[in-house]
């Protein structure tokens, strides 16, 4: 496998933008792709804003900000990733969508390129099976907010080669991250633990055990969690939390993983958390 210089990040949302920012900050050239140019450009604009705040705080200088931004090129569609040495897919947590994207990535990227998914719960073996290079398909699960969180969870599909695994570990390390390795099992390690916790907080709210503030303060002051479970769910996105909960329930076949109705109803209402201005909390005007 040749040296990775150019990384195609597919999806310019919250996770894709974070991955692009960290990759560019650590010296990689990044093609930040989304369905249309305006979305890809908006993803880069958010990164520019965040880097601007770091300059204001004196954490980085103008030179670092500009060099990082210069390494990020917003592009339209998967076709634009044909020159990438690898792709990191960071689209929505939807099995059919990701299967289609992996088929297209396989058609477009050079035969030797590695294809990684930032999926939070979907089988890497299944995504690899959409391609003619399952040995070069791997899970690279970043945490939100990507620039702050140190972890990358690496998931090997059944056919993932030792070379792909070693390259991915070394790439994550170059990006300043620490890796854990998980078996290809629904939710892997982190979300197998986290989503039942967040979902249980939703049940607690649904059953009126306390207010959202009581529940979150309980976790913050009683358990020393940096954020309460409901505000963390709002940060992750309630649609993403629900999608993962549904994967855990369906694939593990145990009713203990069933999503709380209050979570499902928030998603049905379009109250998806911070990104829509309203979730368990109201962010409008904040």
Interacting residues toward ligand CAA by CB under 6 A? 50, 57, 59, 120, 143-145, 147-149, 190-191, 194, 226-227, 232, 236
Name the minimum Å distance from CB 210 to ligand CAA: 20
Would you give the distance in Å from CA 231 to the centre of its chain? 17
What is the separation of C-alpha 273 from the centre of its chain, rounded to a whole number of angstroms?
16
- Cα distance between the two ends of the chain: 47
Which residues make Cβ contacts (< 8 Å) with residue 89, sequence separation at least 6? 10, 11, 98, 101, 102, 105, 115, 116, 117, 118, 119
Q: Which is nearer to ligand CAA, 227 or 265 (CB)?
A: 227
Given CA atoms 12, 15, 19, 25 in this order, what sign does their dihedral have?
A: positive
Query: Exposed, middle or buried: residue 211 (CB in 10 Å: 0-12, 13-18, 19+)?
Result: exposed
| Least distance between ligand CAA and beta carbon 77 (Å) | 25
Q: Give whichever of 32 and 108 is closer to ligand CAA, judged by the CB atom.
A: 32
Nearer to ligand CAA, 1 or 149 (CB): 149
Residues serving a catalytic function are: 120, 141, 153, 191
Structure tokens at 69: 């931004």
The least CB distance from residue 266 to ligand CAA, in Å, is 16
Distance in Å, CB of 82 to ligand CAA, minimum:
29
Nearest to ligand CAA of 80, 122 (CB atom): 122
- Select from 244, 255, 258 the least CA-distant residue to 195: 244
């Amino acid at each position: 496998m040749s040296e990775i210089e150019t990384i195609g990040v597919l999806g310019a949302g919250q996770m894709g933008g974070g991955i692009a920012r960290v990759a560019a900050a650590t010296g990689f050239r990044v093609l930040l792709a989304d369905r249309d140019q305006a979305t890809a450009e908006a993803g880069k604009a958010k990164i520019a804003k965040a880097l601007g705040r770091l300059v204001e705080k004196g954490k980085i200088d103008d030179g670092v900000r500009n060099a990082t931004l210069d390494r990020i090129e917003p592009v339209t569609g998967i076709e634009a990733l044909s020159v990438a040495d690898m792709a990191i897919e960071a689209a929505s947590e939807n099995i059919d969508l990701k299967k289609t994207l992996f088929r297209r990535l396989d058609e477009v990227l050079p035969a030797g390129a590695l294809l990684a998914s930032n999926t939070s719960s979907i089988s890497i073996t299944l995504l690899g099976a959409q391609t003619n290079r399952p040995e070069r398909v791997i899970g690279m699960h970043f945490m939100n907010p990507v620039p702050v969180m140190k972890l990358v969870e690496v998931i090997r599909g059944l056919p993932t080669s030792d070379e792909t695994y070693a390259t991915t570990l070394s790439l994550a390390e170059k990006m300043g991250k620490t890796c854990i390795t998980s078996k290809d099992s629904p939710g892997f390690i982190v979300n197998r633990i986290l989503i039942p916790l967040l979902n249980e907080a939703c049940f607690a709210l649904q059953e009126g055990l306390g207010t959202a503030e009581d529940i979150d303060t309980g976790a913050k002051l009683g358990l020393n969690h940096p954020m309460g479970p409901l505000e963390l769910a709002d940060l992750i996105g309630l649609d993403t939390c629900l999608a993962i909960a549904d994967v855990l329930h369906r694939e593990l076949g145990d009713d203990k993983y069933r999503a709380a109705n209050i979570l499902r109803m928030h998603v049905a209402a379009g109250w998806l958390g911070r990104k829509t201005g309203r979730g368990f909390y109201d962010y409008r005007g904040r």
